Amino acid sequence: MPEPQTVDKARLDREFTELYRAHLRDVYSYSYYRVGNHHDAEDLTTQTFLQAYRHFERAQRESHGRPLRPWLIRIAHNLAANLYRDRSRKPQSALDDSGPIAALHTTEDLVQGRDELARILEAVDQLPDDRREALIMRFALGMDNREIARALGRTDGATKVLIHRATRQLQEIVEAT
C-alpha cells in the first residue's frame, strides 16, 4: 500500500498538471503582451510555472478554494518586473504583432482593421505599467475586476477605477494619433 505522503504528492502533481493545462494560454498571453516577443514570453511562462510548482501546496492551502489564476499572473508579473530590472530595459520593440494578429483574426479583419489594431497595440505600450497590465488582464485574459485586484494586490474599487482610467487614456492616445 502506498505511503500517505506519496499519495499526497501524486495528487498534488496531478492537480498542478490540471492547473497549468488550464492556464498555460493565460500565462503565455500575459507574458507575451508584457515582454513583447515570443522568445521572452516562453521563458517567462516556463519560469512562472516552475515557481508556481514550488509553492503550489501552500497556495492551494491558502486560497480556500478561490481560483489560482490571479496567483499565477501575479507570479508572472513579479518575474517580468525582475526581468526588466535585471536587463534594465523595457521591451526593445513594439509588440511583435504579426504572430498573434495574423493567427487570430480573419483575412477581412486584417485588411480592414489591421492598422487600427496595430495603433491600439502601440498605444497600449505607451500606458503606465499598472494601466497596461490591468488592460492586458481584462481584455487578453478576460479576468474580472476581483481577479485583477487579487493579481495586482489592490482593492476591487481601486481596480475598477484603474481599468476605467486606463481605457480612457488609451482611447485618447489612439484618437490623437
Partner 1 sequence: MSETNFESMLRRALAPVEPPADLAERLETTLQDLTEMAADELESWELSAMRDPRNWARPVAAIVIGGAAGTGLVLLRARRRAAQRRSQTGVMDAAEKALREVFSEARRLAR
**Interface residue list for partner 1 (CB under 8 A):** 13, 16-17, 20-21, 24-26, 28-29, 32-33, 38, 41-42, 45-46, 49-50, 53, 99-101, 103-105, 109, 113, 116-117, 120-121, 124, 135-136, 139-141, 167, 170-171, 174-175
Shortest Å, Cβ 16 to partner 1? 8
* Contact assessment for residue 92 and residue 36, using Cβ atoms and an 8 Å cutoff: yes
Give 5 or 88: the residue with its C-beta nearer to partner 1: 5
Residue 162 burial by CB count (10 A; 0-12/13-18/19+): exposed, middle or buried?
buried
CA within 13 Å, CB half, 140: 22
CA within 13 Å, CB half, 67: 15
Give 42 or 156: the residue with its C-beta nearer to partner 1: 42
Give 16 or 84: the residue with its C-beta nearer to partner 1: 16
Give 45 or 159: the residue with its C-beta nearer to partner 1: 45
Question: Cell numbers of 24, please?
Answer: 498555460
